[in-house]
Amino acid sequence: MTDNQILDVAIVGYGPVGQSLSILLGQRGYRVAAFDRWPSLYPLPRAVFHDHEIRRVFHAMGIGEDVAAISQPSARYQWFNADWKTLVEIDWSAESISDGPVGYLFNQPTLEALLDGKARSLATVEVNQGWEATALVQHADHCEVQLRQGAMDGARWLPTSATRTVRARYVIGADGANSFVRKTSGIGQDDLGFQEDWLVIDVKPNPGVKLDVPDIGQWCNPARPTTMVPGGPGYRRWEFMRLPHETIEDLQKQEMVWELLSPWVNPENATLVRYAVYKFRSLLASQWRRGRVLLAGDAAHLMPPFMGQGMCSGIRDAWNLAWRLDLLLKGTATEALLDSYTPERLPQVRAVIDASIAMGQVVCIADPEAAARRDEAFLSGKVPPLPPFPGLTGGVLSADFGSTGVAGRLSVHGQVEDHGPDGGHVARFDDVLANGFHVITLDADPGQYIDADCAALLARIGASTIGVTTDPAKTRPGRVLRDISGKYARFFAEHGAHAIVVRPDYYVYGGVADPTQLPALVAKLGEQLGLSEAPLHRKAA
């Protein structure tokens, strides 16, 4: 079977990353087909954490309230030594830049079911489960993906006789660590050196059972490094490092599972959901684009789980790709815009992997003497605090207009009030302005600084302009919003900026201390976006 139409995007892989990109492109009206080898969604827990930035992405998908209903705010993330003395404490319950706590815990099958339902509700998105990609060929203006259908025979996937070939302008490989798309595209991986086997166990405590266990913790006990974390509402997870003298087969025995869990939980007060040994690794694809093929998620990067950023990083990839492909598929930008995808995403992910490895090297110490030296260093205050979460350092960014390092940072988000003739209306900022490029000025309407050329370029990329202020006297209905919490005022002051340009993925393109420089900043953005000579302005089908 050959599909005659040329899709806008074919996505190989339908986990949270493929689902998210399907939604983000489908909401923009693009013709998307997602394919996954497995006939149904994976039913067992894997990821359990997403951060405040990803919560904003879920809100942009229109599922923010649904995700809130299936997740719980994070508590403090604590690391203890063998004697339960606190070595490190990270307050994931603290207020973030995104108007809410730093992190949230969830059950992945529940989240995937929600994402799947949203994707299938979109008229231009086609979900194809049980289809394995077997060949990928690039042509001048499209790609061809050959697929074969399969079905489960017990625990085995077996191909049927059905095949099909689909054509798409772009192909995204979101097909996991063993990515067919990455391999067939000839893209190599760098091994960053971390490799440890851990037994991951998910349990569901019986109703009314209260466990005497840290909410989120790393027990850095050389006798058995252990992770304890919620697995979403109603679930708990433990992870136990394999010791040097143990085999994977030792850890796979159910009696061993309950023995390891016995200090906290037993078969009388909880149900075993699943257990499996995972090899925690650190791998990074050398490039994330080859022609019309791009990588996202585990196909592009693998990291140890100690920062909870594996799935988050993959969804950031999808979020980054969505706005690029939108400009490209509309004909507003040229393919040069895809050239900055790898330079933008890879350094941030590399920094996250490096931090995750560093955290893992603290946790994964099975030698008592080395653990004692580690404990002394942390308890004496000799170890510096963890660095802030990395922003973007390359790609579509500008830092040339005198603001103090605002380019590449995640932008602030908070509650704002729009004063209209019928009084004030309070809402999330991203409910007031549609997703896209935003020009935000402090204490003034950006329109007074924008000339005709600047206005035309902003219109071309679909940008919105708005002012924010903490001074009620300076508000203007629909043009200058009241900054209720003062977050925007603090953000601008911290970076010495009077106006900023924010990208659709909520990262700051650049800022200016002098608002009269705003047209020059916008002009530079236009250059970096690689705008086409004659935009097609076609309506997405």
The 3-state secondary structure of 399-438 reads CCCECCCCCCCECCCCEEEEEECCEEEEEEHHHHCCCCCE
pTM over 0.85: yes
pLDDT average, residue stretch 114-135: 98
Q: Which of 361, 381, 399 is the last residue of a domain?
A: 361
355 neighbors 386 (Cβ within 8 angstroms): yes
Quick one: 344 and 440 in the same domain? Answer: no
Give the DSSP letter of residue 385: P
In a domain, 265, yes or no: no
Residue 479: other Cβ atoms inside 10 A: 14
Residue with tokens 């000339």: 451
Quick one: 325 and 429 in the same domain? Answer: no
Exposed (0-12), middle (13-18) or buried (19+): which is 451, by Cβ within 10 Å?
A: exposed
In a domain, 182, yes or no: yes
**Residue 45 confidence class, pLDDT cut points 50, 70, 90:** confident
Report whether pLDDT(223) > 70: yes
In a domain, 409, yes or no: no
As a whole number of angstroms, the distance between CA 532 and CA 291 comes to 18
Q: What is the pLDDT of residues 96-113, one digit of tens each?
A: 999 999 999 999 999 999
In a domain, 448, yes or no: yes
Quick one: 330 and 437 in the same domain? Answer: no
**Residue 421 confidence class, pLDDT cut points 50, 70, 90:** low
Considering only CA atoms, which of 518, 448, 445, 451 is closest in space to residue 479?
Answer: 445
For residue 44, the model assigns a pLDDT of 83
Quick one: 7 and 148 in the same domain? Answer: yes
As a whole number of angstroms, the distance between CA 101 and CA 54 comes to 12
In a domain, 377, yes or no: no
73 neighbors 107 (Cβ within 8 angstroms): no
Based on the structure, what is the number of domains in the chain?
2
In a domain, 437, yes or no: yes
pLDDT average, residue stretch 156-161: 90
**Residue 4 confidence class, pLDDT cut points 50, 70, 90:** confident
DSSP character string of 202-246: EEEEPTT----S-SEEEEE-TT--EEEEE-STT-EEEEEEPPTT-
For residue 515, the model assigns a pLDDT of 93
For residue 43, the model assigns a pLDDT of 87
Quick one: 309 and 456 in the same domain? Answer: no
Q: What is the pLDDT of residues 295-349, one digit of tens each?
A: 999 999 999 999 999 999 999 999 999 999 999 999 999 999 999 999 999 999 9
Nearest-Å Rg of the Cα atoms of the chain is 24
Quick one: 185 and 329 in the same domain? Answer: yes
118 neighbors 166 (Cβ within 8 angstroms): no
Report whether pLDDT(535) > 50: no
Q: Which of 361, 384, 403 is the last residue of a domain?
A: 361
Quick one: 334 and 467 in the same domain? Answer: no
Diameter over CA atoms, the chain: 73
As a whole number of angstroms, the distance between CA 16 and CA 202 comes to 19
Quick one: 13 and 132 in the same domain? Answer: yes
For residue 463, the model assigns a pLDDT of 97
Sheet containing 103-106: give its strands across: 49-51, 103-106, 71-73
Percentage, residues of the chain above pLDDT 70: 97
The CATH number of the domain holding residue 456 is 3.40.30.10
In a domain, 517, yes or no: yes
As a whole number of angstroms, the distance between CA 273 and CA 44 comes to 8
The CATH number of the domain holding residue 321 is 3.50.50.60
In a domain, 261, yes or no: no
Q: What is the pLDDT of residues 68-96, one digit of tens each?
A: 999 999 999 999 999 999 999 999 999 99
Q: Which of 361, 379, 402 is the last residue of a domain?
A: 361
Q: What is the pLDDT of residues 432-450, one digit of tens each?
A: 999 999 999 999 999 999 9
Report whether pLDDT(254) > 70: yes
pLDDT average, residue stretch 207-233: 94
Quick one: 32 and 126 in the same domain? Answer: yes
199 neighbors 257 (Cβ within 8 angstroms): yes
Quick one: 425 and 497 in the same domain? Answer: yes
Q: What is the pLDDT of residues 481-491, one digit of tens each?
A: 999 999 999 99
Domain that holds residue 439: 415-529
Percentage, residues of the chain above pLDDT 90: 90
Quick one: 113 and 8 in the same domain? Answer: yes
Quick one: 23 and 117 in the same domain? Answer: yes
Mean pLDDT of the chain: 94
Parallel, antiparallel or unpaired: strands 270-285 and 189-205: antiparallel
As a whole number of angstroms, the distance between CA 55 and CA 63 comes to 9
Q: What is the pLDDT of residues 7-24, one digit of tens each?
A: 999 999 999 999 999 999
Question: Which tokens go with 290?
Answer: 């080859």
pLDDT average, residue stretch 348-355: 97
Report whether pLDDT(402) > 80: no
Residue 363: other Cβ atoms inside 10 A: 23
